[in-house]
Every structure is written in C-alpha cells, then in structure tokens.
Amino acid sequence: MTEVVCQDETRTCPMPEKDAQFPQPAKTLDCIGLYCPEPVFRTREEISSIPVGQVLEVLADDPASESDITSWAKHAGQELLQVERLKRGFRFLIKRLT
C-alpha cells in the first residue's frame, strides 16, 4: 500500500496511473502548489523516511522542480528512476540508495 503525504490534508491528492515497469512507491509526496525550494526540501526529508531500496513518488507542479529534483537526486546519491510530465506538473520516481 502507498502512503500519501499531502501538503493540504483537506483535498484529494492526484494519483497518476502506475507504470508496471517501475516498482510500487513506498510513499507518495504531494508537492502540488509548492514552489522552489520547497519541493526539494520536502523530497530530501521524505526520502529518509523510507527504507533503502524503496521508491518515493513525488508529485510537483513547479516548473523548476524538473531540473531541481533531477539535480538534487544526482547530488544526494539517489536514483531517479523516472520523470513523467503530467497534465498539471510532474511525477518523479526516486529510489533510495543511501
């Protein structure tokens, strides 16, 4: 089961279709409506809350999040499995390596 962490507990978090070629995320982090640098800060915090080898799904609509989270994952030693452009933002799958 995926745990969804919403920045606004009063709304339903968007859940995009899961891709069969990637592992099921251990947790989903909703950064919709948050702008730089908040999506990266929250991603850094949440990745440490899942076990090594598990996947964090991050949903974000800040245009800068594509380059910011990609760069963060590389520098943090985490594996960016997928970046998907959605109708209203991005979906990132990040595997915790350290």
Q: Could you give the angle at the alpha carbon of 75 between the alpha carbons of 69 and 77, nearest 5°? A: 100
Residue 36 bears catalytic tag: yes
Catalytic residue among 6, 13, 31, 36: 36
Exposure string (b/e) for 47-79, b if CB count within 10 Å is 16 or more?
Answer: beebeeebbbbbbbbbeebeebbeebbeebebe
Burial class of residue 86 (count of CB atoms within 10 Å of its CB; 0-12, 13-18, 19+): middle
What residues are annotated to the active site?
Answer: 36
